[in-house]
Structure 1
Amino acid sequence: MLTGAPSSHMNSSISSSEGIFPPSRFGSFESLGVGASSSFSRPDADVSENDETNLLTISWNQDYGCFAAGTSHGFRIYNCEPFKETFRRDLKSGGFKIVEMLFRCNILALVGAAANSSYPPNKVLIWDDHQSRCIGEFTFRSEVRGVKLRRDRIVVVLEHKIYVYNFMDLKLLHQIETLANPRGLCCLSHHSNTFVLACPGLHKGQVRVEHFGLNVTKLINAHDSQIACFTLTMDGLLLATSSAKGTLIRIFNTMDGSRLQEVRRGVDRAEINSIALSPNVQWLAASSDKGTVHIFSLRVRVSGEDSVTHPSSPQGPAMIHQNSSTSLDPLVSANTGANPNSSLSFMRGVLPKYFSSEWSFAQFHLPENTQFIVAFGSQNSVIIVGMDGRNHLVALHFLYLGQLWVLSEANADRFGSFESLGVGASSSFSRPDADVSENDETNLLTISWNQDYGCFAAGTSHGFRIYNCEPFKETFRRDLKSGGFKIVEMLFRCNILALVGAAANSSYPPNKVLIWDDHQSRCIGEFTFRSEVRGVKLRRDRIVVVLEHKIYVYNFMDLKLLHQIETLANPRGLCCLSHHSNTFVLACPGLHKGQVRVEHFGLNVTKLINAHDSQIACFTLTMDGLLLATSSAKGTLIRIFNTMDGSRLQEVRRGVDRAEINSIALSPNVQWLAASSDKGTVHIFSLRVRVSGEDSVTHPSSPQGPAMIHQNSSTSLDPLVSANTGANPNSSLSFMRGVLPKYFSSEWSFAQFHLPENTQFIVAFGSQNSVIIVGMDGSFYKCSFDPVQGGEMLQQEYVRFLKFETKAR
């Protein structure tokens, strides 16, 4: 019900100072004592510095250049750019659950918290902080749920009713009945030539829009479920809404109620805490209890003949549309990216709706289950303020990153002395070294080589560490209180890593891949999946993510999805890549037991190799991807294949008893193969194949690590017994090949090194006929072998790297 005059049975009472003036004269009121103001006039001396202060509420001012924080002892005002506390008022009598600013002036609307002895939650105080006194007061029979201010209006929101008052004389102008509104949802336009108010309607999912200047009411059936959050543009011509489900956000024309655009936050239910529209109406930001701030590209703008521009405040971000009128036209803006669609969006109308949805264009990740509010700052930045007492300034990077644009943290300030309720992914990760006590026990979760085998990464229960192999040394470590990483994938020796959190990691779940720039201590990209990530592989131009039954290949430059490959169940995340710049070969499990699928992306060729009768357990490629070495779950045989035609070139035998092969490595010159297993022996085999041909290409090795080239490289592979190396030993009964069982004619290992059984070790070739061995028990070995005589390898170095206890033998 909307009425234009106060009712004789109105459930509110008003008291005010004499001489209430328009806001242009705020700060010049004459002092007339009002009941609530006496204890509020000397706030700073009331609270002891030792008293604990809790955060009760946070809210933006009208131009989003400041925010107010209501605390258990008063309130505080902060400027956003640059971040600083403007002032605070602390009281012994209690705090405020609502603190509503009026742009940047000295007038505020305050509503006390339930524990506030002087300011009950059914009373609204209009406070002049310049003179430290109350200039108006509204008392209601029920609790106040929200207050909104304009320069000419005061709007008070109760559970089922909204009151609109004139600011000059505090007269009641309108009453609006709503559906139950416990969150106090209401928003206003702030251009002086329009007065638009949006609030919940009388039906579920309905938003009521009042154009008071035009005397027009528009009822918009925005969603099927309850309205949870909405916002207006500054002129009130655009409305963005979300429902209690929190999956979709819709943008409407408030003049005719038409839906202009729909974007999708996700498919799982979430509580949307805040929605913001950028001043130029190109972007929409939304925060939720899922801990992610999503940025969407808008395809609408306000345009028309009667355009009106309003200069922005010099103190804050511009808050105008590029054009403003009552005409709204869909537009794909040429200077912004588009929200990504599903790759199946072409089947719109056949598959479920979310396959054709527009998804977020950029993201920033924060702690889950913490309330954050968002706003747009200057120069493509977003400001995020949380109920954990932190302020984040994040920048939207307009480097072309394509399908997934990323937000990175530019600044994170602690804006109060509130107790910490959790720290966001970036803030806790940007200062890692101080987070974990030296006394905390650190467990090793994973070990992996970089692409040239000159370094290895160790994921621990508290973060990760990077080590150089020759000479052995710890390069750096990152320790976190939030948890560790089960996958740490390096990109050669640069500062870029791919990280996947362990199950116990509170901030980085195992279904999320972070592309981390350690030089800048920030996340530059992120992939989130519905199932656990099993593996990640990096090339200079590609990111490959391995799930249980599918592999995704992304372009590194713009993070666009290029390929999807279905596989047999792959719990170990088996996948390997070539690393020469002129070839891109990927090997992964096929769709059948014992099958390896090899993708030659440059040649657009797929080769299916039936490598073993039993399940594939381990495999590796040469640097150019032309040789593939495989082992099965039995762990008795290792086979080497030509990846171009799938032919088997050689077969060697580890043993006759079943074993789990943990690692296979091929030497840079393709003369040797090394394998480790749970039986505690590293085996070295002499290879009879080399890469040779007319189109040979050589690649210089890194001066910091082992050479990573073949002696010759092409698509032709020929068997060869190398004159300068020993041969693998055969059984003395091998002349009876075909009569006796197969293992009598097998090639056995040429050299061996013995380690503890039932411990996982990974192997790689070092310099000068050496092998590097790293174990999940925190051990590092460097061993050498005789390339002519073979036999037992000689240990050259042993380091207990997890505890850095070096031993000599």
Structure 2
Amino acid sequence: MSSQNSPSLPAPGLEEMSGSVSPEIKEPKQYFVNFNQDNTSLSVASKSGYKLYSLNNADILEEIYSNGNEDCWIVERLFSSSLVTIVSNACKRKLKVCHFKRGTEICHYSYTHNICGLKLNRIRLVVCLEESLYIHNIRDMKVLHTIRDTPRNPNGLLALSIDVDNCFLAYPGSSTSGEIQIFDCVNLQAQTMIQAHQGPLATFAFSPCGTRIATASEKGTVIRIFSTFDATKLYEFRRGVKRCVTMSCLSFSLCGEYLCCSSNTETVHIFKMEDVGSKKKSTQETGWAGYFSLYLPGTVTKVFNQGRSFAAAHLPTFGCKNVLAISMVHKELRLFVATEEGALFVYTINKNGGDLPLFKTHQISSNDSEHHEMVPHASDPNPSTPHVDEGGILGSYAGIVKGNPMGQMSGTESEKFREMQAATESPPKSLFHFTDEHEYPPLTQNSE
């Protein structure tokens, strides 16, 4: 999730035209916020840099890394590793892959159009342009497949399963209806098509194992969960009946038992994956809903049969986009809500559900007086021209994405990417040593 609209500024010359000094207008804070794949860290980015925070302690927001010299638009971290992908505001056609612990740029790729969104897991990196998708092999960053002429997708809606055994990609199949395409990123072929809603999609998310996908339309009243294998509808939840909303985010817990959703309202809903079918049958046979279903229209009885939220959190603010994560922290199940205005709200989820108590509020920002600077890299004045800088610590690999380019790579760079390929094997080869078991990119500790 990211804010693509620049904050509004006073018109130039306004004071001279009015003949008086207008009051100072402060720009609203606008951040890109996103959780990593296992909900253990939070990325926060803006025009003044980016930061990574640990979520291992709900009481204290511990800073992992700070960079104050990057004009960032999108930042994605790969699990708990040292690999981050960055897209800047200054050049939205360029993707940089960096090792933030070493302060080095591993490679960069330039595309023919602006990057609207990107997702990555341990074997694939998917870059979304407005009308095309590029699937990279994360071991060497080669383009494995290109999906062209996709429906117009300026908001970069896409989802990538974090499970490499079910490595599925989801993207809108239509810009006018709620059709969603599921693509197999390992076998590089279409998996299935799901007609999820009548109206256009607003957001969707895979379950941790990749076997299910949750969807919501722009109307935002109903959330559905489908099988990614055969498009069977498994669950249907009703977020509300009073008003239509603008959906912001859907997110599964890592255990797959809970699904949370947020919108531009002040309420975050949490649904529990229970046997809704059995509960509906019991209600219809013995409850008052079953009696009235004989006389009420089908659309009304359908509302009775939809699952309701198990719990809800009420935010102190509303009207701005946010992202969600459910994570187990110190044996307590927590709901994290990060907003594009720079706030992180932490709620406690109890087994009985209901209204969730607010546990902690953190103010987050992407700039600070103290930060670790990335090694500067020569900018590419012409994104259509492949550029190789061999003067850096690791060198770089860049190519314009037209079809399936191979780019240009020096001998030193080839060696580094061979190391990347070897180290991303599971388990990695013994000659590579990491500061943690999931560290990426695959660089030896004593490499220079």
> Shorter-chain TM-score: what band?
0.5 to 0.7
Q: Tell me the residue number matched to 1:296.
A: 271
* Contact 1:56-1:70 at 8 Å conserved across structures: yes
Q: Tell me the residue number matched to 1:122.
A: 93
Larger radius of gyration: 1
Provide the rounded CA distance (Å) in 2 between the counterparts of 1:162 and 1:132.
Answer: 29
Provide the rounded CA distance (Å) in 2 between the counterparts of 1:388 and 1:53.
Answer: 8
Provide the rounded CA distance (Å) in 2 between the counterparts of 1:331 and 1:124.
Answer: 48
* Contact 1:394-1:409 at 8 Å conserved across structures: yes
Provide the rounded CA distance (Å) in 1 between the counterparts of 2:258 and 2:195.
Answer: 23
Indicate whether 1:408 and 2:408 are aligned: no
Q: Pick from 374, 377, 381: which aligns with 2:327?
A: 377
Indicate whether 1:156 and 2:127 are aligned: yes
Indicate whether 1:393 and 2:346 are aligned: yes
Q: Pick from 42, 46, 67: which aligns with 1:89?
A: 67
Deviations 1:343-401 (A, max 9, x none): 75753462634344322121111122021211111133211111121111111223x47
Q: Pick from 83, 105, 113: which aligns with 1:142?
A: 113
Q: Kindly provide the amino acid, as one letter, of the partner of residue 101 in structure 1.
A: R
* Contact 2:113-2:129 at 8 Å conserved across structures: yes
Q: Tell me the residue number matched to 1:208.
A: 181
Indicate whether 1:76 and 2:51 are aligned: yes
Provide the rounded CA distance (Å) in 2 between the counterparts of 1:189 and 1:346.
Answer: 42
Structure 2, gaps ≥5 residues long? 1-25, 368-448
Q: Pick from 85, 99, 107: which aligns with 2:83?
A: 107
Structure 1 position 71, deviation (Å)? 1.4
1:581-730 pair list within 5 angstroms: none
SS in 2 for 1:134: strand
Q: Tell me the residue number matched to 2:168.
A: 196
Q: Pick from 312, 328, 334: which aligns with 1:363?
A: 312
* Contact 1:345-1:357 at 8 Å conserved across structures: no
Deviations 1:513-561 (A, max 9, x none): xxxxxxxxxxxxxxxxxxxxxxxxxxxxxxxxxxxxxxxxxxxxxxxxx
Looking at both structures, which has the greater relative contact order when contacts are Cα pairs under 8 Å and sequence separation is at least 6?
A: 2
Indicate whether 1:255 and 2:226 are aligned: no
Q: Tell me the residue number matched to 1:347.
A: 292
SS in 2 for 1:185: coil
Q: Tell me the residue number matched to 2:442.
A: none
Count of residues paired in the alignment = 321
Q: Kindly provide the amino acid, as one letter, of the partner of residue 364 in structure 1.
A: A
Q: Kindly provide the amino acid, as one letter, of the partner of residue 365 in structure 2.
A: G
Deviations 1:608-629 (A, max 9, x none): xxxxxxxxxxxxxxxxxxxxxx
Q: Kindly provide the amino acid, as one letter, of the partner of residue 191 in structure 2.
A: T
Provide the rounded CA distance (Å) in 2 between the counterparts of 1:417 and 1:52.
Answer: 15
Deviations 1:740-782 (A, max 9, x none): xxxxxxxxxxxxxxxxxxxxxxxxxxxxxxxxxxxxxxxxxxx
* Contact 2:163-2:209 at 8 Å conserved across structures: yes
Q: In the superposition, relative to structure 1, how do residues 106 and 255 fare at CA in structure 2: closer, same or farther (>3 Å)? A: same
Q: Percent identity?
A: 27
Indicate whether 1:226 and 2:200 are aligned: yes
Q: Tell me the residue number matched to 1:272.
A: 247
Q: Pick from 213, 218, 242: which aligns with 1:244?
A: 218
Deviations 1:650-683 (A, max 9, x none): xxxxxxxxxxxxxxxxxxxxxxxxxxxxxxxxxx
Provide the rounded CA distance (Å) in 2 between the counterparts of 1:213 and 1:372.
Answer: 31
* Contact 1:277-1:376 at 8 Å conserved across structures: yes
1:252-651 pair list within 5 angstroms: 252-267=226-241, 268-299=243-274, 344=289, 347-348=292-293, 350=297, 352=300, 353-366=302-315, 367-378=317-328, 379-398=332-351, 400=352, 405-416=354-365
* Contact 1:397-1:406 at 8 Å conserved across structures: no
Aligned alpha-carbon RMSD (Å): 2.6
Provide the rounded CA distance (Å) in 2 between the counterparts of 1:216 and 1:73.
Answer: 40
Deviations 1:311-364 (A, max 9, x none): xxxxxxxxxxxxxxxxxx9777xxxxx9xxx97575346263434432212111
Query: Which structure's residues are more often strand, by fraction?
Result: 1
Provide the rounded CA distance (Å) in 1 between the counterparts of 2:45 and 2:290.
Answer: 45
* Contact 2:222-2:237 at 8 Å conserved across structures: yes
Q: In the superposition, relative to structure 1, how do residues 286 and 185 fare at CA in structure 2: closer, same or farther (>3 Å)? A: same
Provide the rounded CA distance (Å) in 1 between the counterparts of 2:56 and 2:266.
Answer: 23
SS in 2 for 1:354: helix
Q: In the superposition, relative to structure 1, how do residues 140 and 212 fare at CA in structure 2: closer, same or farther (>3 Å)? A: closer
- The more displaced of 158-167 and 128-137 is 128-137
Structure 1 position 56, deviation (Å)? 2.6
Provide the rounded CA distance (Å) in 1 between the counterparts of 2:201 and 2:229.
Answer: 19
Q: In the superposition, relative to structure 1, how do residues 123 and 331 fare at CA in structure 2: closer, same or farther (>3 Å)? A: farther
SS in 2 for 1:377: strand
* Contact 1:85-1:415 at 8 Å conserved across structures: no
Provide the rounded CA distance (Å) in 2 between the counterparts of 1:358 and 1:63.
Answer: 27
Provide the rounded CA distance (Å) in 2 between the counterparts of 1:124 and 1:343.
Answer: 57
Q: Tell me the residue number matched to 1:11.
A: none
Provide the rounded CA distance (Å) in 2 between the counterparts of 1:52 and 1:95.
Answer: 16
* Contact 2:324-2:335 at 8 Å conserved across structures: yes
Q: Kindly provide the amino acid, as one letter, of the partner of residue 125 in structure 1.
A: K
Q: Kindly provide the amino acid, as one letter, of the partner of residue 73 in structure 2.
A: K
Provide the rounded CA distance (Å) in 1 between the counterparts of 2:76 and 2:144.
Answer: 20
* Contact 2:83-2:97 at 8 Å conserved across structures: yes
Q: Kindly provide the amino acid, as one letter, of the partner of residue 160 in structure 2.
A: L
Provide the rounded CA distance (Å) in 1 between the counterparts of 2:366 and 2:210.
Answer: 37
Q: Kindly provide the amino acid, as one letter, of the partner of residue 181 in structure 2.
A: R
Q: Kindly provide the amino acid, as one letter, of the partner of residue 168 in structure 1.
A: R
SS in 1 for 2:318: coil
SS in 2 for 1:193: helix
* Contact 1:74-1:95 at 8 Å conserved across structures: yes
Provide the rounded CA distance (Å) in 2 between the counterparts of 1:346 and 1:211.
Answer: 45
TM-score for the superposition, normalised by structure 2: 0.67
Deviations 1:688-733 (A, max 9, x none): xxxxxxxxxxxxxxxxxxxxxxxxxxxxxxxxxxxxxxxxxxxxxx
Query: Which structure's residues are more often helix, by fraction?
Result: 2
Q: Kindly provide the amino acid, as one letter, of the partner of residue 181 in structure 1.
A: N
Q: Tell me the residue number matched to 1:804.
A: none
Deviations 1:147-192 (A, max 9, x none): 1112222110011111001122222111224211122111112223
Deviations 1:394-424 (A, max 9, x none): 11223x47xxx12111111112278xxxxxx
Q: Kindly provide the amino acid, as one letter, of the partner of residue 68 in structure 2.
A: D
Structure 1 position 266, deviation (Å)? 1.2
Provide the rounded CA distance (Å) in 1 between the counterparts of 2:192 and 2:93.
Answer: 30
Q: Kindly provide the amino acid, as one letter, of the partner of residue 376 in structure 1.
A: I
Q: In the superposition, relative to structure 1, how do residues 66 and 345 fare at CA in structure 2: closer, same or farther (>3 Å)? A: farther
Structure 1, gaps ≥5 residues long? 1-50, 301-328, 333-337, 419-809
